[in-house]
Amino acid sequence: MARVLLPLAKGFEELEAVALIDVMRRGGIEVSVAYVGEESAVLGAHGIRVVADLPISEANSDDFDMIVLPGGWGGTHALAEDAKVISLVQELKTTKAVGAMCAAPYVLKKAGVLGKSYTCYPGVEDEIDHPGYREDTKVVIDDNVLTSKGPGTAVCFGLAIIERLEGAQTMQTVKKGMLLDYC
CA angle 80, 82, 87 (to 5 degrees): 90
Return all residues near 99 (Cβ < 8 A) that are at least 6 apart: 66, 67, 68, 69, 145, 146, 147, 148, 157, 161
Q: What is the pLDDT of residues 19-77, one digit of tens each?
A: 999 999 999 999 999 999 999 999 999 999 999 999 999 999 999 999 999 999 999 99
Q: What is the pLDDT of residues 75-105, one digit of tens each?
A: 999 999 999 999 999 999 998 999 999 999 9
For residues 148 and 157, the answer to whether their CB atoms sit within 8 Å is yes
User: What is the pTM for the complete model shown?
Assistant: 0.96
For residues 115 and 142, the answer to whether their CB atoms sit within 8 Å is yes
The CATH superfamily assigned to 3-177 is Class I glutamine amidotransferase (GATase) domain (3.40.50.880)
For residues 71 and 16, the answer to whether their CB atoms sit within 8 Å is yes
Separation CA 99–CA 147 (nearest Å)? 6
Torsion 31-34-40-44 (CA) sign = negative
Which string of DSSP letters, residue by residue, matches 64-104?
A: -SEEEE---HHHHHHHHT-HHHHHHHHHHHHHSEEEEETTT
Residue ranges per domain, the chain? 3-177
pLDDT given at position 53: 96
Position 183 pLDDT exceeds 90 = no
Q: What is the pLDDT of residues 110-156, one digit of tens each?
A: 999 998 999 999 999 999 999 999 999 999 999 999 999 999 999 99
In the chain, the percentage of residues whose pLDDT exceeds 90 is 96
Which of 61, 63, 150 has the alpha carbon at shortest distance from 105?
150
Other C-beta atoms closer than 10 Å to the C-beta of 3 total 14
Separation CA 102–CA 108 (nearest Å)? 12
Return all residues near 168 (Cβ < 8 A) that are at least 6 apart: none
List residues with catalytic annotation.
102
